[in-house]
Chains A and B, each alone.
Chain A
Amino acid sequence: MNPTQTKTMNQSQKLMVFVLTMSLYGLATLFTELIPKFQVGLVEFSVEYFLFIPLVLAMLFDPLSAALGAATGELVFSEIMLGQFGGLGELEKFITVTIGVYLAGRLVRDPRNTRMVGIAAFLGTGAQLLMGTIVDICKVQFAVEDFEAVAGLPESVFATEGFAFLNDLLFSGIFFCLLPTLYLVPRLYGKIEPLLGMSPRTPETAAPALSGKTLAGCAVAFVCAVVAEMLATSGLELIDWEASWAESGTSFAVGIIVAAVLALAVLVVMKKKAEAK
């Protein structure tokens, strides 16, 4: 055996997988962000997920590095680069993509087993989409005031989100995740690993099978994502933002204005002085 081809990955090889997944998935998500979606009635035909790229790489390489790379790539290329950064909403996306890809990568112990690859690809996509749907429904429920009071809104949210989930799973899940993964994994197996100086994954070298512990960890991460969303949107009571304004809002605001005007005046004078020097 070639001494440079080790069985387990070292740190720099993990970094390589991270960089590889990040750039490829980032490029793909950039396209999906730019390509307009076409809609036939409620059915949306979008190239929503190039998720097959991180799925393939997670099955061939270290799942965790690939999953983190994919999530970071999406964040950096399609959100930050295009100025679409949505704050806390991105945290949820980051975590769901990571969990979905990681689970799929861990499920596959032997990439030559086509059936397992297919099942893992479908489950990974499904898990990611389902988590996204749950978070979406919660988000709308908490962001709109008096959610239940608005006629027709609750049903419409459940209907559209549920439909979007099924549509995404059946359309994007099969055409853009399942089939490309089944096509690419056998072709790349044994070819791409030597390029990073590794030997291909076999049942013996694969990470141990999914344990309850890993699943529990994923569940905890997902709950964290949901809790973060909830805190962000229902934090009103915690901060008591509006109440403090309602009581002494005007005097408070006048105070800030006076302070800001003073600060502005001082800064302008200081700047003039600094320039005069």
Chain B
Amino acid sequence: MMQKLSENILDKFSMDFLRNQVLKNAYGNNDTVIAARDPRVLLVWYLFFGLVPWFVQDTTFLLGCFVLVMITTLLARVAGLVLLLFAVGVFSQTGYLLIATWLFGGDASAVAPLLVLTLKVATISLASVTVFSGLDPDRLANGLMWFGCPEQLSFSISYAYRILPMLMEEFQNVLLSYRLRGNPPAHDTFTGKVKYLAYQVRIIMAAFYPLMLNTAKRSRTTVEALELRGYRYAAQNKTVRRIRLAGLHLSWDDGIFAAVSVLWVAVTVLLAGLV
């Protein structure tokens, strides 16, 4: 039973699964309500829900914000893996502190501020999940560029999504070829298992050697192709920027989204004042 379970989990965490989840996260949900929003509106929206909860201690307000970002996350139809990572991340940021506090003799009084902290962290993380996972990478890059982020950042975002599937596949191929040629130590006993683990880690490290050389060649090709198209001059040119950003325009739906968010926040502020 245990063995079957662990096999099942290991099956799920294969390289292909990871690649699919990442790709699905990036390109799989372009038809959601969130993905259709203007990136600029979403970034401003994120700025509010990513910053304000840090400053507020009121539980009602935090709870209201949390519910709103939870709804938007559901609307964005984020990939399951990302949500799992979110849960693990929230726990590792504050959950372990809770346990440590108990270990060092804290009592119930320690729990309340930590719960508020957890609520804050969860709200902020979900807001970022909504915006950064819900949006198409190219739209996100354009939105960041509109706000005057360095050109290298928006280039990196677009490039990362393109190159990642290739890199993952290549890494897997290198890893598999190492495994084919290698002779792993027997792993029946405990020391054997430790040796086996060390062997696996060593292979992963060694696999970066060919990967580094290959990626060096590829990045040279990429940069030379970019230079041929005048990338470094285009990055500073105002006309090019205007052409690239011409695709962004606000629709009525964006206004409605913003107005609903403002309404929601105002209602929670009202409730926080009444309670």
Contacts and interface: CB of A to CB of B under 8 A. Distances in A.
Interface of A: 11-12, 15-20, 22-24, 26-28, 30, 33-34, 36, 47, 52-53, 56-57, 72-73, 76-77, 79-88, 140, 143-146, 149-153, 155-157, 159-160, 175-176, 179-180, 183-184, 187-188, 191-192, 195-197, 232-233, 235-236, 239, 241-242, 245, 249-250, 252-254, 256-257, 259-261, 263-264, 267-268, 270-271, 274
Nearest to A61: B216
B74 interface: no
A180 B198 CA distance: 13
Contacts of B22: 30, 81-82
Given A12-B232, A84-B85, A245-B273, A192 B266 contact: no
Given A19-B222, A34-B18, A146-B113, A260 B161 contact: no
Nearest to A35: B13
Main secondary structure of the interface of B (DSSP, over half): helix
Interface in B216-234: 216-217, 219-220, 222-224, 226-227, 232
B156 interface: yes
A26 B22 CA distance: 13
B267 interface: yes
B55 A239 contact: yes
Contacts of B255: 263, 267
Interface stretch (B102-110, B177-185, B241-249): B102-110
Contacts of A252: 269
Considering residues A26, A56, A152, A192, which has the most beta carbons from chain B within 10 angstroms of its beta carbon? A152
Nearest to B51: A87
Nearest to B133: A83
Interface in B76-115: 78, 81-82, 85-86, 88-89, 96-97, 100-107, 109-110, 113-114
B216 A20 contact: yes
A145 B100 contact: no
A232 B256 contact: no
B29 to A, nearest CB: 12
Interface string B132-161: 111001001000000000001100110111
Contacts of A16: 216, 219-220, 222-223
Interface in B33-67: 50-51, 54-58
A82 B82 contact: yes
Contacts of A36: 88
Contacts of B107: 151
B215 A24 contact: yes
A159 to B, nearest CB: 7
A24 B153 CA distance: 16
A257 B223 CA distance: 51
Most chain A CB neighbours (cut-off 10 Å) among B100, B103, B129, B160: B160
Given A183-B205, A188-B209, A197-B220, A81 B86 contact: no
Contact of B25 (A81, A249, A267): A81
Given A12-B232, A53-B208, A150 B113 contact: yes
Nearest to A77: B160
Contacts of B190: none
B68 to A, nearest CB: 13
